[in-house]
Amino acid sequence: MISLFLYRYLQSFLRFGPVGYAPYCADRLRRTVANGVRGEPPSWLELQATKSKKPMVISVTMMDGRNISMPVDSASTSKEVCQMLSQKVKLQDTFGFSLYIALYDKVWSLGSGREHVMDSISQCEQEVKKKGGQEQHAPWRLYFRKEIFAPWHDCSQDNVSTDLIYRQVIRGLKYGEYQCEKEEDYVALVAKHFYVQFGSDMSVENTRTVIKELKAEVVDYARQKWSMLFSKFFEVAKLSGPPLPKSKFICAINSMGITFLDEREKNLLVLSYPELTGVNTIRWVGHQLMFDGLVSWCLVIHNYNLVAMFLAGLIQRSQYAVALQEVNRPDDRTFLSFKKAELIFLIKDDEFSVARGWLKGKNERTGEIGAVPADAVLILPTLTKPTNEVLSLISLSPDQRKTIIDNTVKGTITERVAPSTLKDFSVEYFRQPIKDVNRQVISKNAAPEKLWANSREPIRQPLLKRLVGNPDLSPLACQYMGDYPTRQVQSPLELTDQIFGPPAENEELRDEIYCQIMKQMTSNNNRYSVEQGWQLLWLCCGLFPPSNSLVKHAQRFIETRKREPLATECLQRLQAARRMEPRKLPPHQVEVDAIQQDSTQIFHKIYFPNDTQEIFEVATNTKIKDLVHTIANKLMLSSADGFSLFVKTPDKVLSLNETDYIFDSLRQITDWSRRAKRVNQAGSPVNVSYTVYFMRKLWFSIVPGRDVEADLIFHYPQELPKYLRGYHRCTKEEMVILGALLFRVKVDNDKTQFPMIPRMLKDLVPNDQLKAMSADEWKKHIFAEYNKQAGTTVEQAVIGFLKIIYKWPTFGCAFFDVKQTSEPNFPDIVRIAISKQGITIIHPKTKDILAVHPYNKIANWCSGSTYFHMTVGNLVRGNKILCETSLGYKMDDLLTSYVNMYLNEKRGQRRNQHFD
């Protein structure tokens, strides 16, 4: 900042400036002195405003969708903007609302303090300029949001505040910012939002009251369940306290307490406010904070005021205290008697003078009420009843706490085992160390290179002597772990592809990858690097096992590091890998993302034909057939036979082979789509979205009504579109009956929907039969049949629909319209139906059956991107059926699956005859 003398001199100097600029510059100087020095150069917006000498106007988006414009200048702070916004929207409970700025997909808080708004806008413009854009086109956005709750937040204090937070929660749920752990929580929140949106039939006044209460419930749910998402974050350094793997953390302060996290947001320690007995500042370079808590922590952070305010506010509102000493006065009923560590409920009726050191309390154990000396109890900073564990810890003396911590540390140390290394293994299997001339020049007594221990140098040659000179090896473990810098920016998936791709194809390279990972984790003092190494080892153990010569060393390596979070998981995966076939492809994106987020559980969403979905846990060694049976059991289907998993990409829908691993199949399909897209987009980076469906693939042994769950979830939603597309041959009478059943499925018993039948005909009648009668005739016949079905439920209507079409020969068929070039007596375009009976060729217009080919008459078949060919009869004199279609891959797969089904049945029959 400028000195007072210089400030006054500048003010005097500016008085003699040009008429237009003098007061303008003087006002800017005054504002800069008041709000402090900026940290960034002027933005494009400021430069334009300087030319016109007019205030700048920015637009801030509120969480209820409103955009509010307001004037700012170069010195405007987030506090000033938040205050102006609060006044405009009549927000009274302003605590915790902050200004946010967003650029592309990055969003960060400017808080509500001394942060300069134009500094952040300038940063956004600089970022756009770095990417080759123009500053004036920087797409920054400003938002006004709730950042943190006070522990005593009360929705009834300010309806405007509650509404804004409510809108923020609903918006966050919509875009995935907030997520519920349980599905029923989503349902409850959606129900409340529905009521808020549409109200009820009650009086207007009652509806308003209920809506306010529901909004408050949603806000309270967010405050309690998503406290980490409503936190202020600060950098923290530990000065003393119990041992932890790190000394620098991220500190999250919220309404529930204080959480310490590592750089990947993994919880290291969670402290509730009752666990903090004091908070003090100490000075070194600036204001810093010391927590004197139950676990004797000393931490350096940069927001003393927030924690101090929360503690003071909680103590002021608290009704709970714990006895620090025993008080026994049975002779005078005025005094409350209690034992040490007992819970005292505080009664705030002003009967006793707090200023003179007296409180009124009720002993939880005895139920007695009396006067309590203020110095005999500790008022707990909490609004809820504290746990017994907190009460017992508070009653301990500092020395007792230290003894417990020391004993814990000593016990941990005595249990440690010297970490195993690959030193013994290297003697027999590793190559000779490379002689480093530079190293010898620097230090004549330099120890020889340890091939089995961590190195900052890249691994330029294989460790295993049998692989020296192998060109297929990709030794990138150093780059993934961060042990060696690389200028080329690569995603984690790109690195894991290069690390695990070659050994997935070549068994000889698998030991080398294990050795490189364990080498880089040995004698490594970089905690981040070690954690990355455990991630690689976790992935590796799920792909393929090491050889018999290496496996015992790998097991010992992991067993002697059991304190590591991933050690137990790695050991289990290693043992499982030895019992199973190796994976064929490197890890899928989902696996890499999961382990990078410290999650060893992977969940995948599976979609069903009836527009529902479920989440299922999928392990790296889960095979398609295992997941199919898991899903069938979860849905309580009578059998998993005939069901399959399908993957839908922007290009195709592919059935997954049941003998493959789920993640190998997903990789194979998405990689194929990615390569195809990259060719079309000249090699630019490509992301391929996909969806996994669970559907019936093979239609056999189906009797409608026998498995109602399968009928409702699969048979009906999969067969209905085929019927409406006009693939089946049926009579007018059948269409009327089916139309009435479909109408009931849509409206149940609501006869008021009768006039809507003409508009609904495309969902009730086959597409090619809509003109068989007029809309009014269809309406009359369908409604008459609907009345005959009185008392039928929706579920019964679904089963009834299936029971009718089940009798048709084309039930369960998969239909393909193709262009045929082999049979001159057939039309150019024919419809091929594939079912359990074989392949049927149908005239697409008349629906006449032109030919039927059972599976035992089909000699062979093949497909490509534009064709499907089939030979009927024998290979020598067989008739060839040549079709042009882009769906040949589907026809090929379906034909193969049905043939395999019959072959498996025959094998089973032979096996049974053998045992008989």
Cβ-based neighbours of 569, under 8 Å, separated by 6 or more: 538, 600
User: What CATH number is associated with residue 431?
Assistant: 1.25.40.530
Greater model confidence, 876 or 721 = 721
pLDDT tens for 134-190 read 888 899 999 999 999 999 999 999 999 999 999 999 888 887 788 877 777 767 777
| Residue 196 within a domain | yes
| Residue 18 within a domain | no
Q: What is the DSSP letter of 731?
A: -
pLDDT tens for 727-740 read 999 999 999 999 99
Token digits of residue 914 = 């053998």
| Residue 428 within a domain | yes
> Could you tell me if 590 and 522 lie in one domain?
yes
Strands (E) in 112-255, as ranges, are 141-146, 232-240, 248-254
Helices (H), 606-756: 624-634, 662-680, 708-710, 716-724, 732-747
Contact of 520 with 481, CB cutoff 8 Å: yes
> Could you tell me if 591 and 669 lie in one domain?
no
Strands (E) in 198-274, as ranges, are 232-240, 248-254, 257-261, 267-272
> Could you tell me if 532 and 494 lie in one domain?
yes
> Could you tell me if 543 and 437 lie in one domain?
yes
* pLDDT at 458 (0 to 100): 67
> Could you tell me if 456 and 529 lie in one domain?
yes
Among the listed ranges 323-327, 552-556, 751-755, 898-902, which one has the minimum average pLDDT value? 323-327
Question: Mean of the pLDDT values across residues 751-761?
Answer: 92
Question: Rounded mean pLDDT of the chain?
Answer: 84
pLDDT tens for 450-467 read 889 987 666 778 889 888
Largest separation between any pair of C-alpha atoms in the chain? 116
| C-alpha to C-alpha distance for 378 and 397, rounded to whole angstroms | 13
Has residue 892 got a pLDDT over 90?
A: yes
Contact of 627 with 645, CB cutoff 8 Å: yes
Instruction: Give 688-704 as a DSSP string.
Output: ---EEEEEE-S--S--T
Last residue of a domain, one of 111, 146, 181: 146
Please tell me whether residue 819 adopts helix, strand or coil conformation: strand
User: What CATH number is associated with residue 868?
Assistant: 2.30.29.30
The β-bridge partners of 816 are 832
Cα–Cα–Cα angle for 132, 134, 138, rounded to 5 degrees: 105
User: 542 pLDDT band (50/70/90 cuts)?
Assistant: very high
| Residue 303 within a domain | no
| C-alpha to C-alpha distance for 763 and 740, rounded to whole angstroms | 11
Q: What share of the chain is helix, strand, coil (3-state, %, to 5)?
A: 45, 20, 35
| Residue 204 within a domain | yes
Q: Which of 472, 471, 460 is nearest to 433 (CA)?
A: 460
* Residue the block writes with tokens 């005895």: 366
> Could you tell me if 75 and 204 lie in one domain?
no
> Could you tell me if 586 and 483 lie in one domain?
yes
User: What CATH number is associated with residue 130?
Assistant: 3.10.20.90
> Could you tell me if 560 and 620 lie in one domain?
no
pLDDT tens for 291-315 read 444 333 444 444 557 888 888 899 9
* pLDDT at 341 (0 to 100): 84
User: What CATH number is associated with residue 780?
Assistant: 1.20.80.10
The Cα-based distances of 805 to 344, 595, 814 in angstroms read 73, 48, 14
Last residue of a domain, one of 597, 622, 640: 597
Backbone torsions φ then ψ of 570, nearest 5 degrees = -65, -40
> Could you tell me if 633 and 771 lie in one domain?
no
- Say how many C-beta atoms besides its own lie within 10 A of residue 183's C-beta: 10
Cβ-based neighbours of 346, under 8 Å, separated by 6 or more: 318, 319, 320, 321, 359, 360, 361, 379
Greater model confidence, 418 or 355 = 418
| Residue 32 within a domain | no
| Residue 132 within a domain | yes
* pLDDT at 217 (0 to 100): 87
| C-alpha to C-alpha distance for 323 and 26, rounded to whole angstroms | 61
* pLDDT at 493 (0 to 100): 87
Cβ-based neighbours of 3, under 8 Å, separated by 6 or more: none
First to last CA, the chain: 98
Last residue of a domain, one of 556, 576, 597: 597
> Could you tell me if 641 and 681 lie in one domain?
yes
Burial class from Cβ neighbours inside 10 Å (0-12, 13-18, 19+) for residue 804 reads: middle
Contact of 488 with 476, CB cutoff 8 Å: no
Domain count, the chain: 6
* Residue the block writes with tokens 């086959």: 766
> Could you tell me if 493 and 620 lie in one domain?
no
* pLDDT at 693 (0 to 100): 97
Supply the range of the domain harboring residue 862.
814-912
pTM of the model as a whole: 0.56
User: 560 pLDDT band (50/70/90 cuts)?
Assistant: very high
- Say how many C-beta atoms besides its own lie within 10 A of residue 409's C-beta: 12
| C-alpha to C-alpha distance for 443 and 441, rounded to whole angstroms | 6
Contact of 766 with 725, CB cutoff 8 Å: yes
Q: Sheet harboring 343-346: ordered strands across?
A: 369-373, 358-363, 343-346, 320-323, 377-379
Cα–Cα–Cα angle for 603, 608, 609, rounded to 5 degrees: 165
| Residue 739 within a domain | yes
pLDDT tens for 781-796 read 999 999 999 999 999 9
Has residue 57 got a pLDDT over 80?
A: yes
* pLDDT at 289 (0 to 100): 45
> Could you tell me if 431 and 521 lie in one domain?
yes
Cα atoms in the Cβ-side hemisphere of radius 13 Å centred on 246: 22
Q: Which of 232, 215, 228 is nearest to 256 (CA)?
A: 228
* Residue the block writes with tokens 């999250």: 252
pLDDT tens for 241-299 read 656 666 677 888 999 988 888 776 777 778 888 877 666 554 443 344 444 443 334 44
pLDDT tens for 171-182 read 888 877 888 777
* pLDDT at 734 (0 to 100): 96
